[in-house]
Amino acid sequence: MANVVVVGAQWGDEGKGKIVDWLSERADVIARFQGGHNAGHTLVIGGTVYKLSALPSGIVRPGKLSVIGNGVVLDPWALLAEIARIADQGVTVTPENLMIAENTPLILPLHGELDRAREGQNAVAKIGTTGRGIGPAYEDKVGRRVIRVADLADAETLETRLSRLLAHHDALRSGLGLPPVDRAALSALLAEVAPKILPFAAPVWKVMNEMRRAGKRILFEGAQGALLDVDFGTYPYVTSSTTMSGMAATGTGMGPTSVGFVLGIVKAYTTRVGEGPFPTELFDADGERLGTRGHEFGTVTGRKRRCGWFDAVLVRQTCAISGVNGIALTKLDVLDGFKTLKICTGYDIDGQRFDYLPTAAALQARVLPIYEELEGWSESTAGARSWADLPGAAIKYVRRVEELIQCPVALLSTSPERDDTILVTDPFAD
């Protein structure tokens, strides 16, 4: 049976949570493979709103196994708080339905402190970090000094890891005017949280490969979006992990042949949170209208998102890099009522036309979008569940998007509700 990996094909906030939830009904395993609790997913099910950040979106479905893979950086205290929060909404999380990879790196309080101190003192160019310690935790991972879930089970190993970690962080903190880390207090925190986290720990790579061989369907859930990728995003205004589909394999301990169908989630317009280039950003009434109708505020931070017209250049680029087989086009209903719509089909940089976004920051800063105008529609698309429910102009818009990004629409979402989805191509089909 085919597996499916879901990735954002813009700057995140594309509606991955709803699509993963919709697909998870037919999956046996839902696995997060990168990112941290800075990336939120909102699910609306039967009028109930679930806001998730560390937990995989499949956790709200009974009988499914949710997995936090080794490509994630995990704040154990944030995870426990999230488990308690959704328990109040009737969702029970136990080691039976949640598994955490033993080699998952941990985000500690010192990571968040470092993150916020750096951003606060960066007067040259702020990155726009959420301050939750994701970047510093990934730095410690590649610096070979991070504490991982398995380390919580062995006091001697943990003390060795702490010595290596604090030798690095105390030097950094001194340069930022921060006091040394209180080692005793940190050790106490880890001792207190260990018995709450360790029951979820498991050799995820082994369990996942066994499930694949048994014919179980696996849904890989990415966080953020391709344009925030540390290699291919709008660097340095990016996240600290690989957000492309290839990370699904390494972030869970499975080989690249296990990934299967790659589904890119694409919003019918474009948004971005934080700093960095945004070629189609709008500063007028149309931009305000998109933000208001689309409820464009961050799930985790509450920050207002920047809004703009659909950028076909960027989506074509991210679909190619991530090997997207089909897209899920979301929030089409937000465009209802616009008399005219615009799609960016190319860039003008100093009089030269580009059909991709150059890597050089200086060139990105001088990009001017080249637009194609399309007729809008006055009818409502909200809640449509078949092509017959859509206005002709809306169908024409969708088809033009497909042509420009050189990738077909597999799913079409017309509201935040789970069932307001038009299936065109089944990602789980063999």
What confidence tens digit (pLDDT) does each residue in 70-123 have? Answer: 999 999 999 999 999 999 999 999 999 999 999 999 999 999 999 889 887 765
The C-alpha atoms of residue 311 and residue 306 are separated, in whole angstroms, by: 14
Rounded Cα distance, 369 and 377, in Å: 23
Backbone angles phi, psi at 320, to 5 degrees: -70, -45
* Rounded mean pLDDT, 10-23: 87
| Mean pLDDT across 237-257 | 92
pLDDT in tens, 174-225: 999 999 999 999 999 999 999 999 999 999 999 999 999 999 999 999 988 9
| pLDDT for 259 | 85
Per-residue confidence band for 132, with pLDDT thresholds at 50, 70 and 90: confident
pLDDT value of residue 137: 96
pLDDT(410) > 90: yes
Token pair for residue 121? 């003192």
For residue 411, which of 15, 66, 46, 65 has the smallest C-alpha distance?
15
Residue from 37, 41, 111, 169 carrying the catalytic annotation = 41
Backbone angles phi and psi of 204, in degrees to 5: -55, -40
Does the pTM surpass 0.85? The reply is yes
> Mean pLDDT, to the nearest integer, of 27-35?
94
> Does residue 385 surpass a pLDDT of 60?
yes
pLDDT of residue 179: 95
CA–CA distance, 92 with 89 (Å, rounded to integer): 9
Evaluate whether 379 touches 339 at the Cβ level (below 8 Å). no
SS (H, E, C) the chain: CCCEEEEECCCCCCCHHHHHHHHHCCCCEEEECCECCCCCEEEEECCEEEEECCCCHHHHCCCCEEEECCCECECHHHHHHHHHHHHCCCCCCCCCCEEEECCCEECCHHHHHHHHHHHHHCCCCCCCCCCCCHHHHHHHHHCCCCCEHHHHHCHHHHHHHHHHHHHHHHHHHHHCCCCCCCHHHHHHHHHHHHHHHHHHEECHHHHHHHHHHCCCCEEEECCCCHHHCCCCCCCCCCCCCCCCCCHHHHCCCCCHHHCCEEEEEEECCEEECCCCCCCCECCCHHHHHHHHHCCCECCCCCCECEEECEEHHHHHHHHHHHCCCEEEEECHHHHCCCCEEEEEEEEEECCEEECCCCCCHHHHHCCEEEEEEEECCCCCCCCCCCHHHCCHHHHHHHHHHHHHHCCCEEEEECCCECCCEEECCCCCCC
Q: Is 151 a catalytic residue?
A: no
Confidence of residue 237 (pLDDT cuts 50, 70, 90): very high
Between vectors from CA 358 to CA 354 and to CA 363, what angle results, nearest 5°? 90
- Looking at residue 252, what is its pLDDT? 96
Annotated catalytic residue 13: yes
Mean pLDDT, the chain, whole residue set: 92
pLDDT of amino acid 85: 93
| First-residue to last-residue Cα distance in the chain | 6
Residue-level pLDDT at 274 = 83
pLDDT for the residue numbered 57: 84
Work out the pLDDT band at 124, boundaries 50, 70, 90.
low
Q: pLDDT-derived band of residue 228, with 50, 70 and 90 as boundaries?
A: very high
Establish whether the linkage from the previous residue to 236 is cis, with ω within 30° of 0. Answer: yes
Between 237 and 298, whose confidence is greater? 237
pLDDT in tens, 45-72: 777 888 888 999 889 888 999 999 999 9
- pLDDT average, residue stretch 330-359: 97
